[in-house]
Each structure stands twice: as C-alpha cells, then as structure tokens.
C-alpha cells in the first residue's frame, strides 16, 4: 500500500518513529531499491530500553532484535534520538548521521500567579515502585523532626497514580500526615498544579538502563518556572539539561546531606517569599524551536 502511495504522490522523504520500533521496519523495507530519504526517529532506545531485559527473550530472539536494530541504523539516511546517551550508543553501531532532538513543552512561558501557601513538593504523573526515592522521604522526615516551621509548612502533593509501596514507605518514616494524593487530572489542570507548586519532583529508576531517559515532564516543569528537584541514576542525562538551564538540582538516589541542604535553602527562601529560579535559555526546548531544528535536519 505504501509503495503505491510513494509512487503516486511523488514522496521523496519518509519518517518513521518508535517505539514500537517495528515501525522502523516499514521504513527499512520501503527504502529497499527506492530513492527515498529515510529519517528514523527513536523516542526511546531499542535493545537497551529499561524493560527490554524483562521481556524474557530467548537467545535467538535477542539476537534478532540486535540484528534488526543494526539493519535500521545502517540503512536509515538520518537518525534522531532524544538523549546524548542514546546517540553515543548508536554511534557504536553505525556511522550514519545522528541528531539529538529532545522532547519539549508547548506554548509560551507563563508567569506564576498564586503559588501554594504551603511548601508543596509536587510530583506530576505516575510514581511507581521502581522510582521510589527512599532517601528523599528519610531526609524530609528528619527535617520535620528538626524544624517546627518546616513541619508546619510541608505538603507532599501527588498528581496522578502513586504506588502503594511508595505510600507505605512515606508512612513508615512518619510523613503520612503530609501526603495529598490528587489522582488523575486533565493535562491543563496538571499544568496549573505545576505552576502553583513550590518545588517540582522528578524521579527516575536508579539503573544503568535509565541514564538516557529524559522524561517529557521535565520540559513542562522547566516551563512552569518552579525549582526542579530531580533524583535519578548516576550520570543521568537530565542533570546536564537542568544545570545548563539553571532550573534546579539533580541528585543520585544515595545522596542525602547535599539533598537536605538544598531543600533547607529552598525552604528558607520560601519563608521569605523568594523561592524562585532565574532560568537560562529554556526557550530552546519549546516545541516550536525543536520543530525548527527538525525541519533543518530533514
């Protein structure tokens, strides 16, 4: 069907995007014997994505995945990835051009009107067991015991689903009275919660496989212009983005002392009504700017 469409419409460029990475196989076969320009867009890695090892593949199936991945990477005229880690990984497989184009945020940067009166640390989206930031809950519990004003002001706000294991961990350290689970809301409502929150929490699984994972919510967090508290694996690609844009701090799951110091410093600024960030060059992650880069690359 697509062969006929290419011929009939005179299409010279095709773009495939995955996962599912089987979509790239369509591009691979359309490229055979045809003068089409093929751009393969990987929004996630293929054989190194976090859940790949959990698929319980046989050795022959694993080998086939690797073979198909290599075929796509060698045959595509241009490749797009969302992180520098994935780019380095693919550069070990192919010499074809590879461009990093991250996810981004929609619309204009907005001002924050009506911040929460509480010292809200909010997580937007699913917070599942594998991401449980145990050290963070422990540090917050210590601060509640040590600083009466912090105890009075703290609120942990979850917009979206939270695993029972994470809620149990929070309760085990004595923070059950500070939890507010909002549940699912519309995307527009989620944006409002982001802009109202004092601090935005971003968490990733502590694993080698997740170093190159840059959650889409990071860019919406940046657009909300609220301090980002990130906790993830060592050498997480998110860290360089947050550092470059001066939008917050990123910690490893094992960090505690410096994590506590940053939260305490933010809390002191909150008490003065001065908890803000002065972000730098966030506009490069607007979808308008990213689309301009995409158009140039194609």
The predicted-structure confidence for 11-42, as pLDDT tens digits, reads as follows 999 999 999 999 999 999 999 988 999 999 99
Q: 103-129: b or e for each residue (b if 16 or more CB lie within 10 Å)? A: bbbeeeeeeeeebbebbbbbbbbebee
> Would you kindly state where each structural domain of the chain is located, as residue ranges?
2-100, 119-282
pLDDT of residue 107: 74
What percent of the chain has a predicted confidence (pLDDT) above 90?
92
pLDDT of residue 176: 96
pLDDT of residue 5: 95
Q: What is the mean pLDDT of residues 176-182?
A: 97
pLDDT of residue 111: 59
Distance of CA 250 to the CA centre of its chain: 13
Residue 283 pLDDT greater than 80, yes or no: yes
Q: What is the mean pLDDT of residues 269-277?
A: 96
Pick the more confident residue, 195 or 110: 195
230 within 8 A of 238, measured Cβ to Cβ: yes
Q: What is the mean pLDDT of residues 256-283?
A: 96
Specify the CATH number of the domain 119-282.
Answer: 3.40.50.2000
pLDDT of residue 85: 95
Q: What is the pLDDT of residues 45-60, one digit of tens each?
A: 999 887 888 899 999 9
pLDDT of residue 209: 87
How would you class 182 by CB atoms within 10 Å of its CB: exposed for 0-12, middle for 13-18, buried for 19 or more? middle
Q: What is the pLDDT of residues 68-115, one digit of tens each?
A: 999 999 999 999 999 999 999 999 999 999 999 999 998 765 655 689
Q: What is the mean pLDDT of residues 139-164?
A: 97
Q: pLDDT averaged over the chain?
A: 95
Structure tokens at 191: 């944006």
Nearest to 120 by CA among 112, 129, 111: 112
Q: What is the mean pLDDT of residues 193-203?
A: 97
């Amino acid at each position: 069907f697509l062969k006929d469409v290419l011929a009939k419409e005179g299409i010279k460029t095709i773009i495939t995007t995955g996962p599912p990475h089987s979509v790239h196989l369509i591009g691979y076969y359309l490229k055979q014997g045809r003068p089409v320009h093929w751009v393969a867009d990987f929004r996630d890695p293929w054989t190194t994505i976090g859940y790949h090892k959990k698929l319980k593949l046989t050795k022959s199936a694993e080998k086939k995945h690797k073979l198909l991945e290599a075929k796509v990477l060698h045959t595509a005229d241009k490749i797009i990835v969302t992180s520098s880690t994935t780019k380095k990984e693919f550069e070990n497989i192919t010499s074809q051009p590879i461009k990093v184009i991250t996810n981004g945020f929609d619309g204009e940067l907005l001002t924050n009107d009506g911040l929460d009166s509480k010292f809200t640390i909010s997580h937007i989206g699913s917070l599942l067991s594998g991401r449980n930031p145990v050290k963070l809950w422990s540090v917050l519990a210590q601060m509640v015991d040590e600083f009466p004003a912090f105890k009075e002001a703290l609120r942990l706000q979850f917009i979206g689903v939270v695993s029972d294991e994470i809620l149990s961990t929070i309760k085990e350290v004595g923070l059950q009275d500070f939890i507010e689970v909002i549940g699912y809301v519309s995307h527009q409502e989620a944006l409002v919660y982001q802009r109202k929150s004092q601090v935005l929490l971003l968490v990733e699984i502590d694993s080698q496989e997740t170093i190159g994972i840059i959650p889409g919510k990071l860019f919406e967090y940046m657009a909300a212009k609220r301090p980002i508290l990130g906790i993830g694996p060592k050498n997480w690609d998110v860290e360089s983005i947050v550092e470059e844009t001066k939008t917050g701090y990123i910690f490893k799951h094992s960090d505690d002392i410096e994590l506590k110091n940053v939260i305490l410093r933010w809390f002191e600024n909150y008490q003065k009504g001065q908890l803000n960030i002065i972000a730098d060059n966030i506009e490069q992650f607007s979808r308008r700017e990213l689309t301009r880069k995409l158009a140039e690359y194609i």
